[in-house]
Each structure stands twice: as C-alpha cells, then as structure tokens.
C-alpha cells in the first residue's frame, strides 16, 4: 500500500493492482473510491464508476472495504476504517473532540492511523491517549495548517518523538509492520 499526502487534507492510497482510493481530493481524480468528510455530494471532479462515500455505512469495491462511522453520535465527526491488501487503516477527519474510549472498542486495531494536526482542538495528552488505546503500527500525523507547528511540536514531545523527518509518501507492506508503533509526519516542510 502506498499512501501519498497532498497538502492540506487530501490523500491518495494505491493498493496492489493499482486500485486507488482518494480522501478529500481537491481536483478531478481517477479512482475506484473517493471518501470525503468535506463535501456531502458527488462533485464534477469524479470520473465515471467512482464510488463516492461521505456518509456512514459499509462499502466495498474491488476488495477495498470501507466502514464509515459518525463518532459518538456527532454528525460532524466521520471516521473511516479502510481495509485492503491485508492492512487496516483508520482515518480521522475533522475531529472536534476525543472519541469516548469505550466507542473505540468497537473498531479493529488499525495497522495505520492517519490523524490531523490542526483540524481539532485536542490537547497533546488526548492525542497520546488515543494512540495508546488504538496501538497502530504506523501513526501518521499530517499538518493541516502550517501555522500550527507549535501544536505539532507539543504533540511530538508528548509522544517522545525526536528528529522526525517530514515526508509526503510512505510505502507499507503487511509483512513489514514495526513491532513498536512508528510515528510518521506528513508535512510540506
């Protein structure tokens, strides 16, 4: 699985056989699936035969499985669980509060957790607690707003992460998952 970050909140995920899923695309895309927590109806930017998902439910296309949930009954907080190529990925969009810990028990343990910095008012301790509860093998932070570097620094400090190199792409294989959770930072700087 290849995960590409396109600043600020867009992602392209390429599975084996070039099956493609986009999250919050900002331009016209050719994809099997498009997920959006930013727009609620299909846009003209979608090509034919694209499955567009912006509401709760269970979906499948070409052996890519998506389970979309509202967190804690909050219709503004959509969480996506994505499974494909033997990997489980969890994507939090505009998270306004930390999900109740007992709500998180309903979800699979993600191999990959993609989490925004700058789209929420969460405290660094809450981010740490969420990571600890879900125990992802890759905890991917993305900087949704470059002006929030101080908030990012606080979160990295509480996660005991030093000297992290920002990237825009990561390749993950099921057999190469780290035993201890690895923090990855998607950022343009």
Over its length of 189 residues, how does the chain's per-residue pLDDT go in tens digits? 999 998 778 899 999 999 999 998 888 888 999 998 766 555 555 667 889 998 889 999 999 999 988 776 666 677 899 999 999 999 987 666 666 655 565 566 799 999 888 666 778 888 888 888 888 999 999 877 777 778 888 889 999 998 899 899 999 998 889 988 899 998 876
pTM for the predicted model, two decimal places? 0.88
Domain ranges of the chain: 2-186
Give the C-alpha separation, 181 to 58, whole Å.
28
Distance CA 79, CA 60 (A): 16
List pLDDT tens digits, range 24-64.
Answer: 888 888 899 999 876 655 555 566 788 999 888 999 999 99
Rounded CA gap, 24 and 39, in Å? Answer: 8
In the 8-state DSSP scheme, what is residue 95?
-
**184: β partners:** 140
Burial readout 118-135 (b: 16 or more C-beta within 10 A, e: otherwise):
bbbebebebbbebbeebe
CATH says 2-186 is which class?
A: alpha beta
């Amino acid at each position: 699985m290849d995960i590409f970050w396109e600043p600020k909140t867009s992602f392209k995920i390429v599975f084996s056989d070039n099956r493609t899923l986009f999250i919050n695309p900002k331009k016209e895309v050719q994809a099997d699936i498009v997920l959006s927590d930013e727009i609620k109806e299909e846009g003209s930017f979608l090509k034919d035969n694209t499955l567009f998902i912006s509401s709760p439910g269970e979906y499948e296309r070409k052996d890519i499985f998506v389970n979309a949930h509202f967190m804690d009954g909050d219709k503004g907080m959509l969480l996506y669980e994505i499974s494909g190529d033997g990997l489980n990925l969890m994507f939090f969009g505009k998270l306004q509060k930390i999900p109740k810990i007992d709500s998180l028990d309903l979800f699979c343990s993600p191999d990959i957790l993609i989490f925004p910095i700058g789209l929420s008012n969460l405290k660094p301790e809450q981010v740490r607690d969420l990571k600890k509860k879900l125990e992802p093998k890759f905890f991917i932070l993305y900087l949704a707003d470059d002006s929030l570097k101080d908030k990012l620094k606080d979160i990295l400090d509480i996660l005991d992460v030093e000297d992290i190199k920002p990237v825009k792409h990561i390749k993950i294989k099921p057999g190469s998952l780290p035993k201890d959770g690895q923090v990855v930072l998607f950022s343009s700087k």
